[in-house]
Amino acid sequence: MPSLQDFIYNIAISLPGFLFAIVFHEWAHARMALFFGDETAKSQGRLSLNPAVHADPFGTVVFPLIGAVFGGIIFGWAKPVPVDPRRFKNFKHGTFWVSFAGPGANIILAIASALGFAIVYNYVPATFDYYTIMKEMFEKSLLINLVLAVFNLLPIPPLDGSKMVTTFLDYNQARKYEELGRYSFLIIIVLWMTNALSYIMAPAFIMGNAILNFFINILA
């Protein structure tokens, strides 16, 4: 259990990356849905980068604070944007790309965070008062976005990855597959308790570290 000072510091350096991650994730879903012909999210004011319109009391506030209490990576979510696939110009293509848009946005932010880290590392003097803080903020943002991207790509209903999978199934197969959603919480708990999630996340962290080193070396 971290001290109060460590708790506050963890929140301070993680909050910018966390808010960008969850807001950009939902905005990307809404923007891609609009591209495929569904204006539901836009009509409800969700096609926005304003954190207030996406905030979920538990997922955006309580759950991340619980993670911070234990000193881990701040993890959480925003309110899912409303999407009506019936309005898509192409149902399967629309469902696939709208679902991928959220994790895809997190992958883009992870790459941008790695680039930001490399710029600070190579071009900001180590004597600068906020040098360490800036590096840690970019590093936290990188980790948070990688975790969100990989987690949401898990093929467990109703996560984004499962919706992408349904586009490759026929109607009956898709309905049966979606029924797994009733067990999703239990499945996630088992993955977490058995430490399987750590193994699932490991390749993403390795890739993130590789991207980080790539930018550091190329900008040196």
AA identity, residue 32: M
CB atoms within 10 A of CB 43: 11
Sole residue written with tokens 């992408």: 164
Distance CA 141, CA 123 (A): 19
Token reading at 215: 């930018």
Q: Which residues have a catalytic role annotated? A: 26
108 within 8 A of 45, measured Cβ to Cβ: no
The H-assigned helical ranges of the chain are 4-35, 40-43, 51-54, 63-69, 91-123, 131-152, 160-166, 171-178, 184-193, 196-219
Distance CA 176, CA 193 (A): 26
Distance CA 54, CA 80 (A): 8
41 within 8 A of 85, measured Cβ to Cβ: no
